[in-house]
Amino acid sequence: MIRKTVLLAAAFGMATSAAAHNAWLLPSNTVLSDLGQSVTVDAGASTAPFEADHAALPAATVKVWAPDGTMGTIENAARLRYRSTFDVRVDKPGTWRIGMENRAVTGSFTLEGEKWTVGRRRGPAPAPGAPVRNIATVDELPEGATDLDLTEVLGRNEFFVTAGEPTETLFATTGKGLEFVPVTFPTDLVADEPAQFRFMVDGKAAAGLEVEIIPGGRRYRSDHQSIKLATDADGLLTVNWPGAGFYWLNATLTDAKAAHPGAAKRRMSYTATLEVLAP
């Protein structure tokens, strides 16, 4: 029998309370002149990207891809109240890809008149007397379940660091899901110079994909200054940066092409932190 437990997970390992907020990764820098340096990264979720005022993201879920395709590691990880922090030692020349991947099936069903949530179990069992929710993993769907509503979730949240000459080996597409293909290299972005990125869905151009870009420093402005753009017929996005600084880029797309047999929908997302330098 499926037991009752507390739901503690959401996209990218965030706590449930953070699920409605923007998840972000903020590196100390993305362009290094030589090796032997480390990049310090903050990871959190908040309404305004890069402002640590809501919830920390777990550093344990971060993956590091070195320029030669091998997997790197994080160092000095710590979880604070509103953000996590960690270091990545850059000891190989080229471009590094650092971020989080999320692949899950979420949703709900009804069993014997009670609503159940489909998700991922994390953490200890609830304390006696604590509120509980009915939750099952997608592999625990019981016989007799009705009102099944499942969504396959595919997401990536990442940034890039280049030491010396950039390398493009980490941008090979897989032909599955929503993918980001830089035309302008992501560590060569300069204010007042247009940049172009291509988005693909299952190996084909993601035409008309809506993309939102928010510059950092929201607390010092009267509004988000959000930039909302769409890709052209070839999946190409052109961005004119209004100034130097860190930018949060996000695209989401929902369709009916889920790979999981029980899911009726597929929700894909791509998030990147991009540093734009002064000319």
Residues 20-50: b if buried by 16+ CB within 10 A, e if exposed: ebbbbbbbeebebeeeebebebbbbbbebbb
Q: How far apart are CA 205 and CA 71, in angstroms?
A: 29
215: nearest Cα among 163, 250, 188, 183? 250
Q: What is the pLDDT of residue 88?
A: 98
User: Which CATH number do you get for residue 97?
Assistant: 2.60.40.1930
Is residue 174 situated within a structural domain?
yes
Would the pTM of this model clear 0.75, i.e. be above it? Answer: yes
Tokens of 194: 């247009």
Is residue 249 situated within a structural domain?
yes
Q: What is the pLDDT of residue 5?
A: 28
Is residue 77 situated within a structural domain?
yes
Is residue 71 situated within a structural domain?
yes
Tokens of 157: 């949240």
Q: Are 158 and 95 in contact, with CB atoms under 8 Å apart?
A: no
DSSP 141: P
Mean pLDDT, consecutive 10-residue stretches, the chain (279 aa), reads 32 40 95 93 95 95 95 97 97 96 89 81 53 68 83 96 90 93 97 97 97 93 89 98 97 94 93 97
In sequence order, what are the residues at sequence separation of 6 or more whose Cβ sits closer than 8 angstroms to the Cβ of residue 254? 265, 266, 267, 268
Q: Are 30 and 159 in contact, with CB atoms under 8 Å apart?
A: yes
DSSP 74-136: -EEEEE-SS-EEEEEEE-SSEEEEEEEEEEEEEEEEEETTEEEEE----SPPPPTT---B-EE
Range of the domain at 216: 11-103+152-273
Is residue 134 situated within a structural domain?
no
Total domains present in the chain: 1
Is residue 136 situated within a structural domain?
no
Q: What is the pLDDT of residue 125?
A: 52
